[in-house]
Amino acid sequence: MHKGRMVFAATLATIGLGLSACGGDEEGTAAQDSPPSSVSTTSESESGSDSESTSADSGDDSGDDGGAPVDGDVTAPGTELGVGEQAILPFEYTSEKKGTIAVTVTAIEKGTEADMAAFGEKAKGMTPYFIKMKVENVGGTDMSYASLTLSGVLEGGGGTGVVLIGDIPGKCDNETAPKEFATKGASYETCSLSATTGPPITAAEFDEGDEYSDSPVVWTS
């Protein structure tokens, strides 16, 4: 997990907060005054793990099982999946909104620097990536209005050093779970926005909770 994240807000952009699954404290300075959307720069050096912090800590604790588990078993920390594969994950949004979800990353799409205009000067030189996913309620507990965010992972396994709060309407809308996301089998689609100033983002990770913070589940495109 990457620590030391600085958040600087954008002047425009939509409200699509929901950093619940963004693994890691957003330490550092919440810069700029606009709450709606924000870019976050993380200091990668502060993460203490081999395979990087917020990134592909694909330490594959799951042995050679690279696919999603069957019969509702929870996917082991460190599991590596491909885009289109499903992971079954424990998820706690609040003490009341928690349960088991199935997450399928359906695409990791590259945007353009122009897409970042709403985030202002701080986002200059950043290329956005849109991590699209389907989320299903597996446990049947009430998780209506909960929000899930996955982190981008750079080619080679590094963390991006950037955290974005907000979305890009029409291209990457960070949707919260609908009211109906309170029963087993309910599902919705959402998108996590990530960005890089260096190598491309080729994977996404779930690093929420103690078990997954140092050994995330990773989807690679």
**Among the CATH numbers 1.10.3720.10, 3.40.640.10, 2.60.40.1240, 3.40.50.2000, which is that of 5-220?**
2.60.40.1240
Q: What end-to-end distance do the CA atoms of the chain give, in Å?
A: 21
pLDDT value at residue 94: 94
Domain positions in the chain are 5-220
Q: How many helices (H) and strands (E) does the chain have?
A: 1, 11
Residue 175 pLDDT greater than 70, yes or no:
yes
Q: What is the pLDDT of residues 145-165, one digit of tens each?
A: 999 999 999 999 989 988 788
The whole-model pTM stands at: 0.71
To the nearest whole number, what is the mean pLDDT of the chain?
A: 76
pLDDT value at residue 100: 97
pLDDT value at residue 165: 85
Degrees to nearest 5, angle at CA 95 with 13 and 131? 35
183 pLDDT band (50/70/90 cuts)? very high
| pLDDT above 90 as % of the chain | 61
Q: Lowest-confidence range among 56-70, 126-140, 172-186?
A: 56-70
Sorted by sequence, the CB contacts under 8 Å of residue 195 that are 6+ apart come out as: 39, 116, 123, 126, 127, 128, 129, 152, 160, 162, 164, 201
Look at strands 98-110 and 217-220 and give their pairing. Answer: unpaired
How far from 68 is each of 3, 22, 89, 208, CA to CA, in Å?
Answer: 29, 21, 10, 17
pLDDT value at residue 106: 98
Q: How many C-beta atoms surround the C-beta of residue 135 within 10 A? A: 24
41 pLDDT band (50/70/90 cuts)? low
The tokens 């989320």 sit on which residue?
A: 135
Q: DSSP 3-state assignment of 167?
A: coil
Higher-scoring residue by pLDDT: 191, 21: 191
Residue 60 pLDDT greater than 90, yes or no:
no
pLDDT value at residue 163: 77
Strand partners, 168: 172
